[in-house]
């Protein structure tokens, strides 16, 4: 019998129900959860709606890191609600300014061999510590906080065997960009990534976390590194040596697919506009003019990343045509940079220092000029995500970004004459946790008043799924439609607690001047007593885990999404809020349906319960009528959830 992968060892230890057979549904116990403020408010409103008095997990943490800019009262209103509800429910609270959830969790809470469920798609960052860390919608996280297991498909495991070691000026970001060039951002639903091999020992935990972070862009369920001596050194330096335990795959573990990467053969890479899998060598982009560079985000804002930036910029100045901004990933990183002189070096070079928060990565400021190139160490470069409509956003590692900041153009860092600075893991990190508020005792929690300002709403309710769906296609979109396309972030995120207002912005990037918006068309369909239908191509719903991309369309009356393929987290969110996700049985049938067509689904309970195939009737605008075969991938509990109108309607 073949040995076990590390992922299956951890899943088996946490199995609550079902079978750990590839592609079959199972339920696993969740040890830890995390939320951030763009998703956490709704998650805790949902937890309250369930009547949960105290969370049942070993540890749950709420971070304030996304909506820290306070233009108007909405964000601060949410923060006050979150701080008070955390105290009432037994949850740790990370105050604004303490840092990005994934970086802080890696530093202060992550434990090898544990499970972590987070209402952010980049939760797998903590796979760099040897956790099975999974991103999910807020409602799934609320259910986990209530003590119930998390439903998932047992994944196919792609093994990535690393050998050699990275050359100077080639970095961990280049590893995951190389993997994106192989696997792309679509077609990896139901998979997980496991890294192993002799090259693993050459990577620090921050480097491993960079790699697992961007597993989200691959669309995989999770990405995991083994826990070894490097993991122990990191946790010891964080003063958390008791949390360490070794864990790795069996030597004879078998993988569903094997990819081999020689770290020594990698080159500096860049993801080109506007998808993380449009990969080119930086050398092929040589001399491309650059106007803006930003170093940070949950992908590349560790002490290692920023000390590299500080040491290089200590002897250089930012090019006069470039705006360089630095966003430390945590207060810990910021303070250590301040104490060791790194912060002074960055400021002296002409860099601008941003808050320890997500900021520009989610379109919260620092938008680039029109038609100018911005180079960022972030994880996503979807069109318009920067806040500039026709942006030219490239994703690179810190090394390549620094060369662009110094020269004002793209430069392959391996060709530069600058000496590469070496970095050693500190013996001790600054572990001042004064901005982490622990939960009070249960007795004190009972006395906690929950603060509800006027902008904090309630989770919307959905009616049961119609027995006979009579739908209209409100929009048809193409491949790789992201949750940013569906629900814009940036300045609109402050509306996240006000569903009626936020719903007005659904698909606003596709609205045309002088014509009804998507929201207006959907409301018109709803008021006519019909249901809204969204039709899409491949990889619909990739990107962020924000469940508002399901909640707001549901609020507008959408009850069916018909696509060539749907990404894992978004499909789960659709089910949780009573929207039926269906797949074309024949992908070419996408071309047969257009906006305004009628879609009929007769006997929805009978069809959904009788098997994976569903027959629709489509009536086109010119009154042609044809049958359309579709597939669903719902388990029987999923079917009941959709028919009930969502998870909150179930007992």
Beta bridge partners, 92, equal 61
CA distance linking residue 525 with residue 537, whole number of Å: 22
Interval 469-510: pLDDT, tens = 999 999 999 999 999 999 998 888 888 889 999 999 999 999
* 3-state secondary structure (DSSP) of residue 164: coil
* 3-state secondary structure (DSSP) of residue 491: helix
Contact 16, 87 (CB under 8 A): no
Is the pLDDT at 1 greater than 70? The verdict is no
Is the pLDDT at 190 greater than 90? The verdict is yes
Per-residue model confidence (pLDDT) at position 283: 98
DSSP tag of 148:
P
Give the predicted TM-score (pTM) of the model: 0.96
Q: Structure tokens of 355? A: 């808050």
* 3-state secondary structure (DSSP) of residue 181: helix
DSSP string for 66-81:
SS---SSSHHHHHHHH
Per-residue model confidence (pLDDT) at position 68: 87
Confidence of residue 365 (pLDDT cuts 50, 70, 90): confident
Q: How many residues does the chain have?
A: 651
Residues with Cβ within 8 Å of 464's Cβ and at least 6 positions away in sequence, in order, are: 578, 643, 644, 645, 649
Strands across the sheet with 15-18, in order?
A: 15-18, 25-28, 150-153
Strands across the sheet with 132-135, in order?
A: 132-135, 115-118, 32-36, 59-63, 92-94, 436-437
Interval 155-170: pLDDT, tens = 999 999 999 999 999 9
Range list of β-strands (E), 379-440: 392-395, 436-437
Element housing 642 (H / E): helix 636-644
Residues with Cβ within 8 Å of 9's Cβ and at least 6 positions away in sequence, in order, are: 247, 249
Average pLDDT along the chain? 96
Residue with token string 């985000």: 297
Contact 367, 387 (CB under 8 A): yes
In terms of Cα–Cα distance, which of 262, 27, 305 is closest to 140? 27
Interval 541-583: pLDDT, tens = 999 999 999 999 999 999 999 999 999 999 999 999 999 999 9
CA distance linking residue 530 with residue 526, whole number of Å: 5
CA distance linking residue 239 with residue 198, whole number of Å: 27
* 3-state secondary structure (DSSP) of residue 330: strand
Is the pLDDT at 71 greater than 90? The verdict is no
**CATH numbers and ranges of domains, the chain:** 6-265 (3.30.499.10), 269-413 (3.30.499.10), 469-646 (3.20.19.10)
Residue with token string 């004002």: 408
Strand 59-63 to 32-36 pairing: parallel
CA distance linking residue 177 with residue 215, whole number of Å: 10
Residues with Cβ within 8 Å of 323's Cβ and at least 6 positions away in sequence, in order, are: 291, 292, 293, 352
Q: Structure tokens of 546? A: 């924000």
CA distance linking residue 442 with residue 448, whole number of Å: 10
Residues with Cβ within 8 Å of 528's Cβ and at least 6 positions away in sequence, in order, are: none
Q: Structure tokens of 121? A: 């798609």
CA distance linking residue 415 with residue 173, whole number of Å: 18
Higher pLDDT, 424 or 433: 433
Return the sign of the alpha-carbon dihedral for residues 112, 37, 384, 564. Answer: positive
Per-residue model confidence (pLDDT) at position 69: 84
* Torsion from C-alpha of 550, 555, 559, 563, nearest 10 degrees: -40
Contact 121, 158 (CB under 8 A): no
303-313 and 205-213 helices, crossing angle to 10°: 110
Interval 193-245: pLDDT, tens = 999 999 999 999 999 999 999 999 999 999 999 999 999 999 999 999 999 99
Q: Structure tokens of 162? A: 């690393």
384: left (phi over 0), alpha (psi -120 to 50) or beta: left
CA distance linking residue 208 with residue 112, whole number of Å: 13
* 3-state secondary structure (DSSP) of residue 324: strand
Beta bridge partners, 613, equal 631
């Amino acid at each position: 019998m073949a040995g076990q992968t590390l992922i299956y060892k951890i899943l088996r230890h946490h199995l609550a129900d079902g079978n750990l057979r590839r592609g079959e549904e199972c339920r696993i116990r969740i040890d830890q959860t995390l939320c951030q403020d763009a998703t956490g408010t709704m998650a805790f409103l949902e937890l309250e709606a369930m009547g949960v008095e105290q969370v049942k997990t070993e540890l749950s943490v709420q971070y304030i890191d996304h909506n820290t800019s306070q233009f108007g009262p909405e964000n601060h209103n949410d923060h006050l609600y979150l701080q008070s509800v955390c105290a009432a429910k037994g949850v740790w609270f990370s105050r604004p300014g303490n840092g990005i959830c994934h970086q802080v969790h890696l530093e202060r809470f992550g434990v090898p061999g544990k499970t972590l469920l987070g209402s952010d798609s980049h939760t797998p960052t903590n796979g760099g510590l040897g956790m099975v860390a999974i991103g999910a919608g807020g409602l799934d996280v609320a259910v986990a906080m209530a003590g119930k297991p998390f439903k998932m498909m047992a994944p196919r495991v792609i093994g990535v065997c690393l050998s050699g070691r990275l050359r100077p000026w080639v970095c961990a970001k280049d590893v995951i960009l190389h993997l994106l060039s192989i696997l792309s951002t679509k077609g990896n639903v139901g998979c997980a990534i496991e890294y192993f091999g002799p090259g693993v020992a050459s990577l620090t935990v921050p480097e491993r976390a960079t790699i697992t972070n961007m597993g989200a862009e691959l669309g995989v369920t999770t990405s995991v590194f083994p826990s070894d001596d490097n993991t122990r050194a990191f946790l010891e330096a964080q003063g958390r040596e008791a949390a360490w335990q070794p864990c790795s795959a069996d030597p004879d573990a078998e993988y569903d697919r094997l990819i081999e990467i020689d770290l020594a053969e990698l080159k500096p890479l860049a993801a080109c506009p506007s998808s993380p899998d449009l990969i080119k060598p930086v050398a092929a982009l040589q001399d491309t003019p650059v106007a803006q560079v930003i170093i940070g985000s949950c992908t590349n804002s560790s002490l290692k990343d920023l000390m590299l930036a500080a040491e290089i910029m200590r002897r250089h100045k930012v090019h006069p045509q470039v705006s360089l901004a630095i966003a430390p990933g945590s207060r810990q990183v910021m303070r250590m940079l301040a104490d060791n002189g790194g912060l002074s070096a960055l400021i002296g070079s002409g860099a601008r220092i941003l808050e320890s928060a997500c900021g520009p990565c989610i379109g919260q400021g620092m938008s680039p000029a029109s038609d100018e190139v911005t180079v960022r160490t972030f994880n996503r470069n979807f069109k318009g995500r920067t806040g500039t409509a026709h942006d030219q956003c490239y994703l690179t590692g810190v090394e390549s970004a620094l060369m662009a900041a110094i020269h004002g153009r793209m430069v392959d860092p391996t060709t530069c004459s600058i000496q590469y600075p070496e970095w050693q893991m500190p013996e001790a990190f600054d572990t001042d946790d004064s901005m982490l508020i622990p939960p009070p005792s249960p007795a004190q929690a009972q006395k906690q008043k929950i603060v509800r300002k006027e902008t904090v709403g309630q989770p919307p309710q959905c009616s049961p799924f119609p027995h006979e769906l009579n739908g209209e296609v409100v929009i048809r979109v193409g491949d790789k439609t992201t949750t940013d396309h569906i629900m814009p972030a940036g300045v609109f995120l402050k509306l996240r607690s006000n569903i009626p207002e936020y719903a007005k912005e659904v698909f606003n990037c596709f609205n045309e001047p002088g014509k009804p918006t998507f929201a207006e068309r959907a409301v018109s369909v709803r008021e006519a007593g019909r249901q809204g239908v969204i039709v899409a191509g491949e990889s619909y719903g990739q990107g962020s885990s924000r469940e508002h991309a399901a909640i707001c369309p549901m609020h507008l009356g959408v009850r069916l999404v018909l696509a060539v393929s749907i990404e894992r987290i978004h499909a789960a969110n659709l089910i949780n809020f009573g929207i039926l996700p269906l797949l074309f049985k024949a992908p070419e049938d996408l071309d047969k349906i257009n906006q305004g067509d009628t879609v009929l689904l007769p006997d929805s309970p009978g069809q959904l319960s009788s098997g994976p195939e569903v027959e629709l009737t489509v009536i086109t605008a010119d009154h042609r009528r044809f049958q359309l075969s579709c597939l669903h991938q719902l388990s029987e509990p999923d079917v009941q959830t959709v028919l009930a109108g969502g998870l909150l309607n179930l007992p």
